[in-house]
Chain A
Amino acid sequence: MEWLLPIQNLLGSAWLPIWTVVKIMLIVGPLMIGVAYLTLAERKVIGWMQSRIGPNRVGYFGLLQPLADGLKLLMKEIIIPSGSNKLLFVIAPIMVLMPALAAWAVIPFSAELVLTNVNAGLLYILAMTSLGVYGVIIAGWASNSKYAFLGCLRSAAQIVSYEIAMGFALVTVLMAAQSLNLGDIVRGQHGQYGMLNWYIIPLFPMFIVYLISGVAETNRAPFDVAEGESEIVAGFHVEYSGMGFALFFLGEYANMILIAFLTSIMFLGGWLSPVPFLPDSIVWMLAKVAFVLFLFLWFRATFPRYRYDQLMRLGWKVFIPVTLVWVVVVGAWMQTPYWLW
């Protein structure tokens, strides 16, 4: 970053905040584009799985479809139900989107590319992703609608239960990496055997638990009980229109991408190359993220929706015991000479 030095000298003490804002822009901008094109990818991929073609009218291959959708939602009237709590009703979508974006601060995209390299990165991520549920609860409650209320109740219970399983899955990662710093977690997976050094090998059950909890955490099918369009219509965001509605989706898709990033950082070796003879680079990171996102879409096209109580049963009776056992297994394993990671 030598070429930035003259600007740095010119701005003096204002340099740090300005430079941080620029970096934030450089993350949020591509992220929003990623979100937009994830919606297109979703419609295309699911379309192909369902023997249809997906959007192909706006731009070549429907490439301008996300822009058209965004523009449409932006132009629409924001209807605030008369029985609602207006302040909370407006704040709720913001509260969903804000933590979904804030969590990106500690994500390392490659060895050098990270906004803030904090040592408690993993804790920060856990804190931020848990905050999103408040937006959902407030949205459901502020709407003063029965369907929305049921949706927010479901969502609250679901996110709280899966948070625990997810947290324990992350505990094993931090045990293996002996660090809460996301960059260090990736570096801990570096070795001479390429992908055999990744944490997915010793922590495979945790990888599965984390992935499924991630799907549940983002309210995606087959865990979309909070939305459940055929049961409670759209759940917590049934009363939202226009940009309020769009913000929920921005949050949901930003969270999907976030979970995909976290999965690749913690289990799939982040920016590390899967084979030793190829260089590590951000391309690997993006490829892994794309793969995990594809899994999200694939699940949605394949599975029926869980019922709310079955979802809770899966979380409490399967995932939490499995993660608890594996924490002990990993702990014991690490005390033996057979721990190679």
Chain B
Amino acid sequence: MPEIKNYTMNFGPQHPAAHGVLRLVLELDGEVIQRADPHIGLLHRATEKLAEHKTFLQSVPYMDRLDYVSMLCNEHAYVQAIEKLAGIDVPVRAQYIRVMFDEITRILNHLMWLGAHGLDIGAMTVFLYCFREREDLMDAYEAVSGARMHAAYYRPGGVYRDMPDTMPQYEASKIHNAAAVKKMNENRQGSLLDFLEDFTRRFPTCVDEYETLLTDNRIWKQRTVDIGIVTPERAVALGMTGPMLRGSGVEWDLRKKRPYAAYDQLDFDIPVGKNGDSYDRYLVRVEEMRQSNRIVKQCITWLRANPGAVMTTNHKFAPPARESMKQNMEELIHHFKLFTEGMHVPAGEAYAAVEHPKGELGIYLVSDGANKPYRLKIRAPGFPHLAALDEMVRGHMIADVVTIIGTQDIVFGEIDR
């Protein structure tokens, strides 16, 4: 009798559902997965090594490019590690701004995830609805930092600058006439905070809209319920964090358990799942969007009431004001040192982690007292998730591989680093 061999299939790296450059070698029995072997490294850019050859400040934009759909959360972990090591006090206003933008980032990430996940499962309309709302949030990024995605907005010791008082306006063009532009600019008349407040008012209705299309949809449920179940014990053992862990029912969120920045001042809930399947993770992420919206609202109220500095006054790490630099020798030296060789972080090591939209993003920083890190290690949340892919997909079908890659919220920027 001839031996029956499994059907080996190469999934990716150029595959519409590979979320970037994932390459999977699938062993199939018919359409049932026997083994999934993820191959990584196709987006490796040596971020950790590059950071060793750049001053501390120069690595901030590299952090944006780790998980390139949740840019500011990555930066937050990095600046926190520096602040921890150097003992810098960050002004409270900067903390709130960071929290607000972390949550905006979380919404951005989850919208991207929801859209892509929907598209993978074949619901393409959700994708465009999600991107409609993403646009507004990217405008907020742009208003505050000048860049729609790779903001480079956080600094060790605070944030680059305070919120702008005006929003950029659309201008009439061949496609949009004056009347249309007026309507598009309606919510851009005030400051960035006004714009964001308008967004937080609208956003829950938008989430309802996505949920109408998916949550009770029989096909959506058939495609996600009981797909890729992870038990709480396995989730912990596999090193899962974020919605992957909470979807399995483990209530672990660094924002609550190890509060950083201003999270201990804010009121929000941590949604957890029950069965640990793709559908629960979907529900967890959708609820997280609503909670993030709540946090953004609270931050807006606080930021309106409490003006103040957004950068530390420790001028060994933050540049001094130009006027004082012109008059004060000490400040001139600070300025010169900062802009020639950069900040010197005292020797030692620090680990700082944030609750990144995908899980725990940690930066382990070793400094030898020079103006560059001695070693920078990034703990990417997606890496352990991808490592668990084989376990999650075994016994499922090809279509479920796509669901499971989607539910893991894989982004290759952080996995390959």
* Chain A interface residues toward B at CB < 8 A: 46, 49-52, 146-147, 150, 221-222, 224-225, 228-233, 300-310
Q: Are A228 and B399 in contact (CB under 8 A)?
A: yes
- Whether the pair B397, A309 counts as a contact (CB closer than 8 A) is yes
CB distance from A339 to the nearest CB of B (A): 34
A51-B132 contact, Cβ under 8 Å, with A303-B122, A308-B31, A310-B222 = yes
Q: How far is the CB of A173 from chain B (nearest CB, A)?
A: 27
Chain B contact residues: helix, strand, loop or mixed: helix
Chain B interface residues toward A at CB < 8 A: 7, 9-10, 15-17, 31, 118-125, 128-129, 132, 213-214, 217, 219-220, 222-223, 397-402
Q: Of A233, A300, A308, which is within 8 A of B399 by CB?
A: A308
Contact of B122 with A230 in the complex, beta carbons under 8 Å: yes
In the assembled complex, how far is the CB of residue B22 from the closest CB belonging to chain A, in whole angstroms?
13
Known contacts: A150-B398, A231-B399, A233-B15. The answer to whether A305 contacts B219 by CB under 8 A is yes
Q: Smallest CB-CB separation from B7: which chain A residue? A: A146
Check A307–B222 contact: CB distance below 8 A.
yes
Asked if residues A230 and B17 are in contact (CB atoms below 8 Å), the reply is: yes
Can you identify 30 A-B contacts, CB atoms within 8 angstroms?
A: A46-B125, A51-B128, A52-B128, A146-B7, A150-B398, A225-B399, A228-B399, A230-B17, A230-B121, A231-B399, A231-B401, A231-B402, A301-B124, A301-B125, A302-B123, A302-B213, A304-B122, A304-B217, A304-B219, A305-B123, A305-B219, A305-B223, A305-B399, A307-B222, A307-B223, A308-B31, A308-B399, A309-B31, A309-B397, A310-B222
Residue of A nearest to B119 (CB): A230
Determine whether the beta carbon of A233 is less than 8 Å from that of B16: yes
Contact A231 B124 (CB under 8 A): no
Contact flag A51-B399 (CB < 8 Å), given A150-B31, A306-B219: no
Q: Are B125 and A230 in contact (CB under 8 A)?
A: no
- Complex Cα spacing A122 to B119, Å: 38
Contacts of A304 in B (CB 8 A): 118, 121-123, 214, 217, 219-220, 223
Residue among A224, A230, A233 with the most chain B CB within 10 A?
A230
For the complex, would chain A's binding face be called helix, strand, loop or mixed by DSSP majority? loop
A300 to B123, CA, bound (A): 8
Known pairs A221-B122, A301-B125, A310-B223 / 8 extra A-B pairs, C-beta < 8 Å? A146-B10, A150-B9, A303-B123, A304-B217, A307-B399, A308-B31, A309-B31, A310-B222
> Which residues of A have CB within 8 Å of B222?
306-307, 310
Q: In whole Å, how far is A238's beta carbon from the nearest beta carbon of chain B?
A: 11
Is B128 in contact with A302, judged by CB distance below 8 angstroms? no
| A53 CB → nearest B CB, Å | 10
B10, B118, B119, B121, most chain A CB atoms within 10 A: B121
* Shortest Cβ distance from residue B73 to the other chain A in the assembled complex, whole angstroms: 27
Closest residue of chain A to B221, judged by CB?
A304
